[in-house]
Every structure is written in structure tokens, then in C-alpha cells.
Amino acid sequence: MSDQTFEAPRSQKASSAPAAKQVRLNLVYIDVWAAVKVSSLFAVAISLALFITLLLTWVLLNAVGVIGALEGVVGDILGEGGGAVLALFSFGQVVLLGFVGALINVVSLTVLGSLWAILYNVVARLTGGLTVGFTNT
């Protein structure tokens, strides 16, 4: 056995960049289960951000005194019957309503994501899909 090394032909320049190759592909199908997983992760992220924003807004408004002033105005307008409305401004009630809203948001955005995937698959079957171009550089 002899030791041989490979050398590139002298006609090729080492510094030359290869030519860019362009590829055009059609997106003709979106996996519905993958769309459900991705849309549910986005929905959880969006719902969590909105829930934290809601809680921080309530804490800020309470620290500034807006919640107390609002309770005073509602109490002046509604009198004795304003207790049910005033209960909505308590921290526990805000957390509960925000959590329920976040759950509804997660479910609805997940369902919408899967419906969009199904709708795209139907339209792609009729039209041939979305054409995407890629370049290898």
C-alpha cells in the first residue's frame, strides 16, 4: 500500500466561490398535527404574556390609587347595589378572570391554527400550493 494524497487540479482556483444554486419548491401540504403543536405553543406564549400584563397592570393601577378611586366612583353611582361590581376589581377576581380568559385564548388559538392548516391543505390541493425559492450560497 502506498500513501497517496489527493490534490485538486491546478486549473481550479482555491479562492473561487461556487456558483449559487437556486431551487424552487412547492409547499403542498402542512401536517395538521404539527400545526396543532406549533399553534398551541404560540397560544400558550401569547396567553402567558397577556396574563402577566394584566396582573402587572392591576398592580400598577392599585399602587397609583386608580382602583380605589374607581371603587369610590362605582360606590357613589350605584350605592348599596355596587358591591357585586366592586367585587370584580379585587385581585383574586382579576386573577381568576384573567386565567379563564387565558385558557379560552389557548384553546381558541390552537383550534384556529389547526383550521388554518386544514384550509391551506384544501387550497393547496386546488391550486398547487405556495412556491418558495431557495438559494444555496
φ, ψ (nearest 5 deg) of residue 28 = -110, -5
Domain contains 101: yes
Q: Cβ contacts of residue 58 below 8 Å, gap of 6+?
A: 67, 91, 94
Q: How far apart are alpha carbons 96 and 87 in whole angstroms?
A: 12
What confidence score (pLDDT) does residue 13 get?
Answer: 52
Three cell numbers, residue 88: 370584580
Domain contains 29: no
Pairs from 92-97 (Cβ < 8 Å, separation ≥ 24): 94/54, 94/55, 94/58, 95/55
pLDDT, tens digit (0-9, with 9 covering 90-100), for 122-135: 999 999 888 988 88
Domain contains 39: no
State which residues of the chain have pLDDT below 50: 1
Cα dihedral 39/41/44/46 (nearest 10) = -70
Domain contains 88: yes
Q: Provide the strand spans (E) within the chain.
A: 21-27, 130-136
Domain span at residue 85?
Answer: 52-125
Domain contains 61: yes
- Count of domains for the chain: 1
Domain contains 82: yes
Domain contains 47: no
What confidence score (pLDDT) does residue 125 get?
Answer: 93
Domain contains 115: yes
Burial of 102 (0-12, 13-18, 19+ CB in 10 A): buried
For residue 13, give the amino acid letter: K
Q: How far apart are alpha carbons 71 and 58 in whole angstroms?
A: 13
pTM, rounded to two decimals: 0.71
pLDDT, tens digit (0-9, with 9 covering 90-100), for 94-105: 999 999 999 999
